[in-house]
Structures are given as structure tokens and as C-alpha cells.
Amino acid sequence: MKRILNWLLNYSWLSMILIVLISVFTFYWMKTNTTMETDLDEYMPKNHPAFIYSDEAEDIFNIKDGIIIAIENKEGVYNSNTLKKVKDLTKELQKLPEIEKDDVTSLYTADNIVGTEEGLDVKAFYKKTPKSNEKIYLLAENVRSNEMVDLRLVSDDETVTLVVANIHDDVFSQEFYQRILDISHSYEDDEHTLYVAGTPIVEGTLAYLAPKDMQKMVPIVIVVILIVLFLLLRSVKGTLLTFFVVIISTLWTFGLMAWLNIPIYSVSTMIPVMLIAIGVADGIHLFNHLQLHISQNPGVSKKDAIKNMINHMASPVIMTSITTAVGFVSLLTSQVYPIKYFGLFTAFGVMGAMLFSLVFIPAGLMIFGLPKASKSIKESKESNDNFAYRIAAFLLRHKIVSVYITVFIILISIVGMQKIWINSSFLDKFEKDSEIVLTDAFINEKFGGTSNINLILEAKQKDQFKDPETLRLVDLLQKNIEDSLDVVGDSFSLADYLRRMNKVMHADREDYNTIPNSKDLNAQYLLLYEMSGDPDNLWKVVNYDYSKLNVNIQLKSDDSKSIRSAIKIIEQYEDRFNELGVDVNYAGSGYKALVFTDLILEGQISSLILSLLIVMVLLSIMFRKIIVGLAATVPLILTAFISFGLMGALNIPLSTTTALLSSIAIGIGIDYAVHFVEQYRLNVSKGFNPLKTAQYTMYHSGRAISFNAIVVIAGFMVLLFSVFPPNRELGALISLNMFTSFLGTLTILLVILNYSKVFFKKKK
């Protein structure tokens, strides 16, 4: 260590130049090779059974996420101008290379199943745009009498009609997203307003806004950190050197991601704010010790002061960085890829900040000189002369009060934790009054819903889904789920086809709007449809041998509560399906989002437990006492209880963003405990009594921890300016966590160390 330190101090310029040159190259590589992931399916583990099954079902039934374009004419959609726009927009979308022609549905392409003297016929509602009032009226009547189209493509008040374009997962890009928006807006005029919604649009908007949001956040957090650092350190040199450490570590982190071809996910955009806010901690503790040393040793040489700083602070800085990294690395237990990568690369950035703090800062001090000793730093001889001394003495006099308050807070937090829920909604990441949310709400109000789950029924024998009893059960389930839940707007399956065919083959009599009683008759109807219509539409709801069935259920919300409520209704029918030899499964983006939230919860719990255990073991090894490891985690456990209790009380759900909370809290909060315990141990080794040990520890480490907490809280409070509500919630919660960790370290941890006399036991 001494050789490395001497080399570093003797070759300071070389160290600085090497770090700067590598950082410049890293910035160029990052800028030219960084990619943004826009497909939310890529957030999910491909080897999970639920996702494997869902992908297989999507291939069988051609299940795709749809771009929904609503055309509104407040005077009504049944006029030549609106119908022409529907036709032209449909044909333009069909020509896009990212969309297959048969995957665009509108009044222009929808099948109208009708009965004729010869049997069953399937025809288009119109091929040429109708111009006469008579033809327009006839088209409107045909739509109104067709339950498979009316209210699904035309709203109840007949002022809005839909054009739905289904796309493959791997074709969506920012360019395609912008092209869809441009095409849609080109059809607007004084009479017509177009609204664009659907899962791909939510993904595209999120991918578009997330980088822009961080582009806004990073300059703000930089300014805030610089101001707060200067106010605390009162040194331009200290402020700039500490700041450049976090900038370099952030550059190297994103450069490594680009080099490994790891894309930037929406959650990854928060890494710069995290590293800038977290990475300054090492510099703060280094400069805090340096300033104290200079003030206590006037005239100390530059080299000796830097050596003292490194010799005294290298160990706690390394320990805190390792424990912080552990908090983030624990996120690898999550099966959600963005969270895994977030944890891994943030941990890399934290270790990078540690390395640069121990190399860049000493080198910078050797080149540019020591900071001036702060006039405000003056070690008191008497405990009554210093605020930190008085606080320490007060806490030790009222130790039992701290214990009672801690227990009370934990009990209150447990009550709040009972109300925690998980939210899979990506729409909830946006402001309630944002355009995308308002558009989604408008389409949900007019139609069945913009979100979907797919109920996949699998029979053990062929032609099971021509059987009347099985089909009636499907039909009953659809009616029940639509009537029971307001969030379910519509559903669609093979049962809808057969009810329609049965009705039109009996002169459109409403009493025949039912499932036929004969399996053979069902088979005849389906054969007629295959011969008369487009069988590709049929294969979206049933497979070729009629052993698998797809029931599409439309929801007016994409959050997990809505999806679970629908699945709960379906589960009531599971035994009845099993009695018929039919298994119940699920697929589609809505169901995958639900599984996604479960994985978030599992990852949250496992990462929290794992990080606490690892940190506990590491601290026990570092300080060679198990009780120290246990004591140091108490403030973290208290912080976790308060955080989750508050989330439950304020109805803040766990999401891909807030799921990071516990690991961030542990990763950052443990720094305070490590520095505090290390300083406490050193003071005991100097022969101080318990009171003096507590007072000197509060003065030395308490000061640095206070500075650290202020900077981190200020950095994360910047997230309150984010355009995404979950980011604002995360910023507020982390700021609260840092305050509670800081407060817990200076109170309950001090009380535990004093109670246990852990470092005094070998001294008499």
C-alpha cells in the first residue's frame, strides 16, 4: 500500500492524464455505440415458463400488440369523408413494411358474416367509399346489426371508429413510432381528430421520454451537487475534484455498457443521477478528514497530509464502497433484466468512484495543492463547547427513549406494510394529464379497452371446441366476466363467431343468437366460414384441429389489480373446464405484465434479504465481531420498515422503479454505519471512556455523515422534477431513506454500541 501511495504521489500528473485520456475515449465509444431498448418484452426473462408458454401461444394464434388509432368525428362517422379516411388510413398502414396487410382491422377490412339463400356469406362492409345517403345508411345498418363489429370498431354514440394495426415485437423502433404519429396526424382536419394508443405506443413514448427526462435531470443534479458540495466543504478544489470523480465513474459505467452491447433500459436512465449522488460520499469523507487534520496540525506538509488522509480513510472508504456495491449487486437475484443490469452497472460505478477517489483526489491535491483549512473547524476541548458533543451526551443519557421510539416506529410501519401492492402498469409511469394517458382514457371510454389478456384453453382431444357444452361454458364465462367487472370492457372468442353464424342462418332472429346445440351443426358453420371468408381470422381464436382456443379479454386498465380481478373470475370456471378435459392457461402482454410484477416482488424480497445478510457478514468479518455486523444493520432494517410502511400508507405501489428502493437504501445507508463504527473503534483504541468515545465519534464521523446525507438527499430530490411520477416517488422515498439511515446511525447505532460495550470488553 505504501509503495502504491508513494508512486501515486510521485507521478500525480501521469495518473491524472491517463484517467482523463481513457475517459475521453470512453465518452466517444459510449456516444457512438449506446442503444436504447424500446421493447418491453425484452425486460422479461425468456426462460421463465410463463413467458415460454405465452410466446408459443402468441405464435399459434398470431397474438400481437396493436396500435390503436381512433378517428373521431363529433357529427358522426357514417359519412363519405370519414369512411374515406378510414379506408385511406387502413391502406396506408397496410403498405408499411413493419405491418402485415392482414393485420390491419377497420370497417374497411372487417368481415360481415351474413346469411343468404345459398347459405353463409362473408363480405366486406364496403370496398368503394359510399357517397349516397342510401348506401351510407345501409352500411350503418349492417354495422349496427353485427355484434362482432358494432361497439368493437364503432363507438356506442357512433362518433368514433377504430383502425387497429397489429405489429410484431421486433419491428418497433423510434423511427416507426414517429412515422405512425406523423401518418395519423396527417389525417386530421377541422372535422376529424385522431388519437393513437396501444401497448407499442406506450413503449415508444416511454422510450422517447426517458432519455429526454434524464437529459434534463443530469444538469440539474450536477448544479445541485456542486452547490451543496461547495457550501459544505467550503473549498473549490475539494468540490471540483470530488465532482470529477463521479463524472468519470459515470462515463466509465456507460462506456462498459456500450462495450458489452448492453442497451439502456428506461430504469438505466437513472444511473447517472444515482452515481452522481452516491459517488460524492468517498470524496466528502476524504476531505472531511483532511480538513480536520490540517486544522489540528497547522503547517503540516502537503505530502504528509495526503498520506495521513489515505492511511486513515482508505480502509473505511473501501469497506463502504464494497458494502454499497453489495446492495446493488443483490439485484442480480431479480429475474427482470433491466433491474439486474441496473444493479450490476451501478455497483461497477460505485467501485469506480471508490478507485478514482483514492487515485484522482490525492493526485489532484498533489498537483493543485491542499485546500485551505476551514475557520469553522476547531476541535473543542470541553464537551459543552461543541454541539456534536452535547448531542452524544444527551443520547447516552436517554438511551431507553431511543429504543422505545425505534420499536414504536417499527410497529407503525408494519401496519402500513399490509397495504403494499404491486403495479404492472406502464401507463401509470406518466402524468394523469399527459396526452398519452388522456388518449388511452378516451379510447377506453368509447370502447372495450386498450389492454388485453388472452385466456388459452387446451383440450386433450381434437374438435373439442366444436362441442356445444364446451362452447357454452366459454360463452358463459365471457358474459360473466364482462358483467361482473367494470374494468373488463369486452371479450372475443370462437363463441362469438358461432353465435353470429347461427343468428344470420335463421333470418337474424335474436333468439338464435346462441351457441347451436349440435356439434355437427357447429362443424358445418365453421366449414362454411372457412370456405366463404378469410380463415386466417378464424385461426386467431382457434387452432386448426380445434383443440386449442384463444379468448381475448379487453381491459380498460393495464395495472395488476385489474388483471388479477379478471383472472380471479376465470379461476371460478377452472374446475368446470377441467371436468370437460380442458386446461386453463394464459398468454399475451397483459398476463406477462402480471407475471412481471410477481417477479419484481420476488426480486425485491430476495435482494433485500440477501443484501442484508451479505452486509452483516462483511461487517462482522471487517470488524471481527458478529455483534458489530448485527448492530450496523439495525438502522438499515429500520429504514426498510419505514420506507415500506410509508409506501403502503400513501398507496405507492411497487413497480420496476420503486422495486430498486430497498437495495439503494441498503447500498447507500450502510456507508454511514461503516464510517461511524470504524471511527468509534479507533476512538476506543485511543483509550477514551464511553462518553468521550461517543462524543469524538459524533464530532468526526457525525460531521462527515451529515454532509454525506445532505448531498445524497439533495441529489435524489432532483428526481422530483422528473416527468415520470414513479421517478418522483423514488426520489422522495430515497431522500427519506437517507434521512432515516443517517438519523438511525447517529442515534440507535450509537446507543447499541454504547449498550453492548463491544469494543470495551477487552479493556479494563
**Looking at residue 327, which CATH number applies to its domain?**
1.20.1640.10
What pTM was computed for the model?
0.79
Among 203, 229, 246, where does a domain finish? 203
Tens-place pLDDT, residues 482-523: 999 999 999 999 999 999 999 999 989 999 999 999 999 999
Say which residue the cell 345501409 belongs to.
Answer: 138
Q: How confident is the model at residue 315 (pLDDT cuts 50, 70, 90)?
A: confident
Among 203, 237, 269, where does a domain finish? 203
Residues 721 and 656 in one domain: yes
Residues 80 and 128 in one domain: yes
pLDDT surpasses 70 at 763: no
- Provide the pLDDT for residue 390: 87
HSE-up (13 A, CA, CB side) for residue 495: 21
Q: How far is Cα 712 from Cα 709, in angstroms, rounded to an integer?
A: 5
Residues 147 and 127 in one domain: yes
- Provide the pLDDT for residue 579: 96
The CA–CA distances, whole Å, from 7 to 10, 300, 301, 570 equal: 5, 20, 17, 70
Backbone φ, ψ for residue 763 (5° rounding): -110, 140
- Provide the pLDDT for residue 594: 84
- Provide the pLDDT for residue 381: 40
Note the Cα 444 to chain centre separation in Å.
24
Average pLDDT, the chain: 87
- Provide the pLDDT for residue 432: 86
| Nearest in space to 328 (alpha carbons), one of 664, 45, 577, 30 | 664
Backbone φ, ψ for residue 575 (5° rounding): -65, -40
pLDDT surpasses 60 at 334: yes
Q: Kind of pairing, strands 160-167 and 104-105?
A: antiparallel
Q: How far is Cα 286 from Cα 354, in angstroms, rounded to an integer?
A: 11
CB atoms within 10 A of CB 175: 9
CATH number at residue 517: 3.30.70
- Provide the pLDDT for residue 83: 97
- Residue 612 covered by a domain: no
Say which residue the cell 410484477 belongs to.
Answer: 597
- Residue 39 covered by a domain: no
The three-state secondary structure class of 562 is helix
Return the exposure string of 260-273: e unless at least 16 CB atoms fall within 10 Å of the residue's CB, then b.
eebbbbbbbbbbbb
Q: Which helix (H) or strand (E) holds 672?
A: helix 661-685
| Nearest in space to 334 (alpha carbons), one of 726, 45, 729 | 45
Our CA dihedral for 111, 115, 117, 121, rounded to 10 degrees, sits at 20
Answer yes or no: are the C-beta atoms of 569 and 453 closer than 8 Å: no
Q: How confident is the model at residue 376 (pLDDT cuts 50, 70, 90)?
A: low
Choose from 114-118, 290-294, 350-354 the range with maximum mean pLDDT. 350-354
- Provide the pLDDT for residue 379: 46
Tens-place pLDDT, residues 114-156: 988 778 889 899 999 999 999 999 999 999 999 999 999 999 9
Choose from 133-147, 157-171, 241-255, 312-326 the range with maximum mean pLDDT. 133-147
- Residue 740 covered by a domain: yes
- The number of helices, as runs of H, and strands, as runs of E, in the chain is 26, 10
| Nearest in space to 716 (alpha carbons), one of 146, 168, 183, 279 | 279
pLDDT surpasses 90 at 458: yes
Residues 457 and 553 in one domain: yes
Q: Could you tell me the residue range of the domain that residue 350 belongs to?
A: 1-33+214-379
pLDDT surpasses 50 at 681: yes
Backbone φ, ψ for residue 601 (5° rounding): -65, -45
Looking at residues 202-206, what average pLDDT do you find?
79
Among 154, 173, 203, where does a domain finish? 203
The CA–CA distances, whole Å, from 84 to 126, 158, 230 equal: 10, 16, 65
- Residue 738 covered by a domain: yes
Residues 321 and 400 in one domain: no
pLDDT surpasses 80 at 473: yes
- Provide the pLDDT for residue 380: 44
- Residue 239 covered by a domain: yes
Q: How far is Cα 629 from Cα 618, in angstroms, rounded to an integer?
A: 7
549: Cβ–Cβ under 8 A, 6 or more apart, which residues?
A: 456, 457, 459, 465, 474, 493, 494, 541, 542
Which one is predicted more confidently, 457 or 642? 457
pLDDT surpasses 70 at 764: no
CB atoms within 10 A of CB 486: 11
Looking at residues 468-481, what average pLDDT do you find?
97
Q: In this prediction, what percent of the chain has a pLDDT beyond 70?
A: 95
Looking at residues 149-168, what average pLDDT do you find?
94
pLDDT surpasses 70 at 613: yes
Looking at residues 95-110, what average pLDDT do you find?
93
Q: How far is Cα 418 from Cα 422, in angstroms, rounded to an integer?
A: 12
Q: How far is Cα 328 from Cα 665, in angstroms, rounded to an integer?
A: 10
- Residue 442 covered by a domain: no
- Provide the pLDDT for residue 382: 43
What total number of domains does the chain contain? 4
Residues 714 and 743 in one domain: yes
| Alpha helices, DSSP H, located in 505-540 | 519-532, 535-538
- Provide the pLDDT for residue 475: 97
Q: Which helix (H) or strand (E) holds 422?
A: none
Residues 23 and 110 in one domain: no
Q: How confident is the model at residue 17 (pLDDT cuts 50, 70, 90)?
A: confident
Which one is predicted more confidently, 553 or 206? 553
Which one is predicted more confidently, 661 or 236? 236
Choose from 168-177, 275-284, 485-494, 634-643 the range with maximum mean pLDDT. 485-494
- Provide the pLDDT for residue 41: 67
Q: How confident is the model at residue 377 (pLDDT cuts 50, 70, 90)?
A: low
Q: How far is Cα 66 from Cα 153, in angstroms, rounded to an integer?
A: 14
Note the Cα 598 to chain centre separation in Å.
13
- Provide the pLDDT for residue 459: 96
Q: How far is Cα 617 from Cα 628, in angstroms, rounded to an integer?
A: 10
Across 329-338, 384-393, 697-706, least confident range: 384-393
Choose from 22-31, 110-119, 570-579, 700-709 the range with maximum mean pLDDT. 570-579
Angle between helices 199-233 and 271-296 (to 10 degrees): 10
Q: How far is Cα 103 from Cα 171, in angstroms, rounded to an integer?
A: 14
Q: How far is Cα 58 from Cα 168, in angstroms, rounded to an integer?
A: 10
What are 614's three cell numbers? 451479505
Residues 195 and 227 in one domain: no
Looking at residues 24-50, what average pLDDT do you find?
77
pLDDT surpasses 90 at 87: yes
Residues 373 and 387 in one domain: no
Residues 169 and 242 in one domain: no
- Provide the pLDDT for residue 208: 75
Answer yes or no: are the C-beta atoms of 275 and 353 closer than 8 Å: yes
HSE-up (13 A, CA, CB side) for residue 718: 26
Across 96-105, 280-289, 344-353, least confident range: 280-289
Q: How far is Cα 452 from Cα 747, in angstroms, rounded to an integer?
A: 51
What are 611's three cell numbers? 443484501
Q: How far is Cα 458 from Cα 117, in angstroms, rounded to an integer?
A: 36
HSE-up (13 A, CA, CB side) for residue 69: 29
Answer yes or no: are the C-beta atoms of 628 and 619 closer than 8 Å: yes
Q: Which helix (H) or strand (E) holds 457?
A: strand 451-459
Q: How far is Cα 67 from Cα 164, in angstroms, rounded to an integer?
A: 6
- Residue 600 covered by a domain: no
pLDDT surpasses 70 at 169: no
Beta bridge partners of 195: 70
pLDDT surpasses 70 at 383: no
HSE-up (13 A, CA, CB side) for residue 216: 11
- Provide the pLDDT for residue 583: 97
Residues 221 and 199 in one domain: no
| Alpha helices, DSSP H, located in 466-516 | 468-484, 494-504
Q: Kind of pairing, strands 451-459 and 582-587?
A: antiparallel
529: Cβ–Cβ under 8 A, 6 or more apart, which residues?
A: 113, 120, 122, 497, 501, 535, 538
Say which residue the cell 436504447 belongs to.
Answer: 36
- Residue 686 covered by a domain: yes
Residues 394 and 491 in one domain: no
Say which residue the cell 495521513 belongs to.
Answer: 308
Backbone φ, ψ for residue 105 (5° rounding): -115, 130
Handedness of CA 511, 120, 122, 128 (dihedral sign): negative
